[in-house]
Amino acid sequence: MFSSSSSSSSLSFDFYAASCPSVELMVKNTVRQASELDPSIPGKLLRLLFHDCFVEGCDASVLLQGNGTERTDPANISLGGFPVIDSAKRVIEIFCPQTVSCADILALAARDSVQITGGPEIQIPTGRRDGRVSAASNVRPNIIDTSFSLDEMSKIFNSKGLSLDDLVILSGAHTIGSAHCSAFMDRFKANPKGKFTLIDTSLDKDYADQLTKQCPAGASSSSTVNNDPQTPLQFDNNYFKVLLAHKGLFQSDSVLVRNERTMNIVAELANDQNRFFDSWAVSFLKLTSIGVKAGDDGEIRQTCSATNG
Ligand code: HEM
Ligand SMILES: [Ca+2]
Ligand SMILES: [Ca+2]
């Protein structure tokens, strides 16, 4: 438990049992209250975790503010949910000062986001410590762009100890949340009159028409579209049904039904929500264990947006 090796075995299910027994309750209450006021919060927290864990491991590096931090990279500009983590940390600092890492708070908050929106309830181990390194230059090599091929995506997942199956299963996160027009409009080409035509003909025609209406030329840069056109606020297996209907929003979603092996997984998960939930729990545990810092590695931050100085 006190070795500084970066493995999930350094985490434990009762890590805060003596030092902060109500930490999970405090995180859950904060996430629930914030999500009642703003239903976009669960999606934001879940994506925030993904972008944290893939860069420097699950160490809250994504939360650090300042010049040249991960948050300043264009791939991270549309991240949100930071104030929810800050407010959970504030409450926790009152009851358990200098005890709970921001990395654990973020992992728990993402876990709760899934449950609050109707997904599976998952026990996750804690004991992550907060990193001191956050560099924008680390983002690009580790965060997947929507233009990536399946091979490119699976290479990055493999480098994190995640399999092709994990890639398909965790992409199911797109069953909630939304995306800015700029995240997928490269699938269309504007003619001189500003009318969009589809470059990527794998996309369902009616869905494509709907997207160009929601993201017309000159649309505000803050316009967003639901990732899951049918049940955007529900963590369910509908994302996989959407993929089968050729209505995957990102190109990186659509590629999952163009390969036989990933297509088979998609079909299985689309058919059986329990199967998705069980698989999600396993893959989510792997995601939340990537490159965790423990023992003497890292620190317990006092504020989630800054290192202890
Ligand atoms: C596999 C490659 C992936 C790619 C290329 C990708 C890409 C994207 C993009 C471009 C957006 C829209 C961002 C915006 O414009 O605001 C998005 C949203 C989102 N992604 Fe992914 N993603 C991937 C995997 C994942 C994974 C593994 C998770 C979590 C386990 C995840 C969770 C989310 C969530 C919840 C949203 C909605 C965010 C919100 O509502 O603010 N994504 N993703
Ligand atoms: Ca990180
Ligand atoms: Ca959904």
Domains and CATH numbers, the chain: 8-143 (1.10.520.10), 150-285 (1.10.420.10)
Is there a contact between 4 and 295 (Cβ–Cβ < 8 Å)?
yes
pLDDT at 9: 61
Cβ of 160 below 6 Å from ligand 1: no
What tens-digit pLDDT sequence spans the chain (309 residues)? 333 344 446 899 999 999 999 999 999 999 999 999 999 999 999 999 999 999 999 999 999 999 999 999 999 999 999 999 999 999 999 999 999 999 999 999 999 999 999 999 999 999 999 999 999 999 999 999 999 999 999 999 999 999 999 999 999 999 999 999 999 998 988 888 878 888 887 899 999 999 999 998 888 889 999 999 999 999 999 999 999 999 999 999 999 999 999 999 999 999 999 999 999 999 999 999 999 999 889 999 999 999 998
Cβ of 307 below 6 Å from ligand 1: no
- How many angstroms does the Cα of residue 145 sit away from the middle of ligand 3? 22
To test the ligand 1 pocket, which listed residue (44, 50, 163) has its Cβ within 8 A of the most ligand atoms? 50
Give long-range contacts, CB 8 A cutoff, 24+ apart: 53-56: 53/160, 53/287, 53/288, 53/290, 53/291, 54/142, 54/143, 54/156, 54/160, 54/290, 55/138, 55/139, 55/142, 55/143, 56/131, 56/133, 56/134, 56/138, 56/291
Residue nearest to ligand 1 atom 40, measured at CA: 177
51 among known catalytic residues? yes
Helix (H) or strand (E) holding 196: strand 196-198
pTM (global) more than 0.90: yes
Give the separation between CA 130 and CA 181, rounded to whole angstroms: 33
